[in-house]
Structure 1
Amino acid sequence: MEDVSKSLQDLMNQRNLTKNYQQLMAKVAKDPEVTAFIQTHQADLAPDVLTRSAAKIYEFVTERDKVKAGKDIFATGYEPRLIVADHLLDVAYVPTQGTQEKQAAQQLRQRVRSIAMPKSIRAARLDNFDNDGPRMEAFLGAMDFIESYEDHPHQRHQALYLTGNFGVGKTYLLAAVAHQLATDGYSTTLVHFPSFAVEMKNAIGKDGVGDKLDAIKKAPVLMIDDIGADAMSAWIRDDVLGVILEYRMQEELPTFFSSNFSMAQLEKDHLRISTRGDDEPLKAQRLMQRIRFLAREVTMLGTNRRPQ
């Protein structure tokens, strides 16, 4: 392997380049990162690699130094790396540490799809969940689900139906589970069901009703928040919620719920009576069979933790 400094100096002399440029190239030739790379990959490089790769060596060192100095290069957010290509040196541009962190954060956000959920849930973390006595069962149930789901994501896993008074942390726990799953590479969808029901009703007669429904019912992990908070029309109950639950039961897809109602109350006081006042116990029972198949009921107790 020829001497880096000598080869580049010969090249400069042959091409009758300016003194300043020669000085720059002489500095580049002595760069420790360049010489170390060449020594490491010597067996894969051509004998005259230094002469033939002079321009790439210069590009690498100058662009790298710009990045270190905090200056922009032509590939913003990226930094140069030496590589071997066809027995010569070449330069590849890879994401900087900052760019990688931004990309990772973006990918994480993309794995948690939220529909009509408050922005505050984005900060929900299991580490910050106060798993005191009244909420310990729900916390342990969430942890058990995460472990079993991640061990066997294609098997059936019964999720949680979180019930309890307003403000005890049901939505927060769902969002924290979603974040943990996203961190571990799994996608979730959180939907505030009363708001979603309004969105579906407003979409009647327009394109997209079927697409909206498909996106919810086919989510790998679905979290239906605040079910029972508002009165349900027969259409929302049967043709929206019923379709979602039927599909997810048949496909054995994990489905969480949160509600101020217990399962018994949801059936008797909410699903059974339509907005028109019709009493339809069989339809309510049918829906509850699917909910009980998909999730087990866990009661969360405690005081209202939301700001007053």
Structure 2
Amino acid sequence: MESMGEVLRSMNNSALRQRSRDLEQNLLNHPLVKQLQAEHPELDESRLRLHLSRLYQYVEESRHCANCPGLEKCPNDFQGHYSKLTVETVGGMADLYERKTACNLKIAQDNQDSIRKRIRSFYVDERVLNGGYDEIDIMGKDPRRVSAVNRIFDYIAGAKENGLTSRGIYLQGSFGTGKTFLMCYMLHELAIAGYSGVIVYMPDFIEELKLIMMDNQKLKEMVDTMKNCDLLIFDDIGAENLNPWARDHVLGAILNHRMNRKPTFYTSNYPLDGLEKHLSITSKDGEEIYKGQRLMDRIAPFVDVIPLYGENQRGTVR
């Protein structure tokens, strides 16, 4: 169907003027326009003729949507939107109004985008966050992890129903059992409920701190983000190579701010007593038992420990 504007601009030619009249009549006889008239008998045909361009847009975009090629290839003027016509009576006269309306594909994309914006990751592979989640597969992949998965599901359900508490989770298990995946699933589900979340891969985070320790602004922004998000996950804690400054002035400050305020979550290969020993040893000062205990006082009382059993799922869909 050619552009209405192109036809109208060539009306100085009699043949094209006739073509224009035919196009107008065809448009007014289109089933969608007839349906509009049937639903709104108060709308005079003369008003329709004043809004031929709106009718044309409405019919064309309806045709595009009926043969939708997908959101990325949407041919409508405003991608992911279609023209919706309404009839309103103003000053005693019914008239035709148009507004752009998001289609279901656009609404779904916007919802996913808003969920992603609530989740921020530091040094975690984005594919883990965006890989999609199937609850049946999560539960059924390895029967030995059913108990842990049920407790994660219960935590999510409780947070959705009653809101967040200051209590988090310490998810402990061996390599490749799906700890990171389950925490990302929790973040995703609670982001749908409106909560913001951050997940931090500890080994890379600690190494990065050594590089940015003199960049006060970048360091402050990173730490403030971790302090203030609704849910914070330290992924693979215990695998990092700690130094006293990172442990005492960065990690300690974050945990000190969050305890009794917002929940913090952890995944680790260590049980809690093993993590305490790890946190007591730094690359510079060796073993400092008191400082390890001090940090654990900001972790252990504020988490429920969930052991995760199962086979190493690395290289397979978790």
The Cα of 1:39 is off from its aligned counterpart by 4.0
Q: CA 1:59/1:166 → structure 2, altered by over 3 Å: closer, same or farther?
A: closer
Match of 1:230 in 2: 240
Q: Is 1:40 paired with 2:39?
A: yes
Spell out the pairing of 1:10-29 with structure 2 (5 A cutoff): 18-29=17-28
Q: CA 1:58/1:168 → structure 2, altered by over 3 Å: closer, same or farther?
A: closer
Spell out the pairing of 1:169-184 with structure 2 (5 A cutoff): 169-184=178-193
The Cα of 1:75 is off from its aligned counterpart by 2.3
| Structure 1 spans left out of the alignment, 5+ residues | 1-11
Which of these residues, 98, 102, 107, is aligned with residue 95 of structure 1? 102
Do 1:245 and 1:290's aligned partners in 2 also have CA atoms closer than 8 Å?
Answer: yes
Match of 1:107 in 2: 114
3-state SS in 2 of match to 1:208: helix
Match of 1:307 in 2: 315
Match of 2:84 in 1: 81
Q: Is 1:204 paired with 2:213?
A: yes
Compute the TM-score of the two structures, normalised by the length of structure 2. 0.80
Which of these residues, 60, 63, 66, is aligned with residue 65 of structure 1? 63
Spell out the pairing of 1:212-291 with structure 2 (5 A cutoff): 212-251=222-261, 253-267=262-276, 269-291=277-299
Q: Please list the CA deviations of residues 208-266 of structure 1 after superposition, one character each: whole Å capped at 9, or x if unmatched.
A: 11001111121111111000102211111111111111111142x12210011111111
Match of 1:9 in 2: none
Q: CA RMSD in A?
A: 2.8
Q: Please list the CA deviations of residues 1-40 of structure 1 after superposition, one character each: whole Å capped at 9, or x if unmatched.
A: xxxxxxxxxxx9xxx9812111111122123323333443
CA distance, structure 2, for counterparts of residue 294 and residue 157 of structure 1: 7
Q: Please list the CA deviations of residues 68-126 of structure 1 after superposition, one character each: whole Å capped at 9, or x if unmatched.
A: 45672432332211123654212222233333333333233223322211244132524
The Cα of 1:138 is off from its aligned counterpart by 1.5
Spell out the pairing of 1:158-177 with structure 2 (5 A cutoff): 158-177=167-186
Q: How high is the sequence identity, in percent, across the aligned residues? A: 29
Match of 2:54 in 1: 56
Q: CA 1:305/1:54 → structure 2, altered by over 3 Å: closer, same or farther?
A: closer
CA distance, structure 2, for counterparts of residue 184 and residue 138 of structure 1: 22
May I ask how many residue pairs the two structures share in their alignment?
A: 290
Per mean C-alpha deviation after superposition, the further-off stretch among 123-132 and 169-178 is: 123-132
Do 2:169 and 2:303's aligned partners in 1 also have CA atoms closer than 8 Å?
Answer: yes
Match of 1:296 in 2: 304
Q: Counterpart of 2:122 in structure 1: which amino acid?
A: I
Q: CA 1:177/1:74 → structure 2, altered by over 3 Å: closer, same or farther?
A: same
Q: CA 1:38/1:222 → structure 2, altered by over 3 Å: closer, same or farther?
A: farther
Q: CA 1:171/1:63 → structure 2, altered by over 3 Å: closer, same or farther?
A: closer
Match of 1:6 in 2: none
Do 1:124 and 1:172's aligned partners in 2 also have CA atoms closer than 8 Å?
Answer: no
Do 1:53 and 1:88's aligned partners in 2 also have CA atoms closer than 8 Å?
Answer: no
CA distance, structure 2, for counterparts of residue 27 and residue 66 of structure 1: 18
The Cα of 1:157 is off from its aligned counterpart by 4.9
CA distance, structure 1, for counterparts of residue 241 and residue 232 of structure 2: 21
Runs of 4+ in 1 over 6 A off after TM superposition: none
| Structure 2 spans left out of the alignment, 5+ residues | 1-10
Q: CA 1:114/1:127 → structure 2, altered by over 3 Å: closer, same or farther?
A: farther
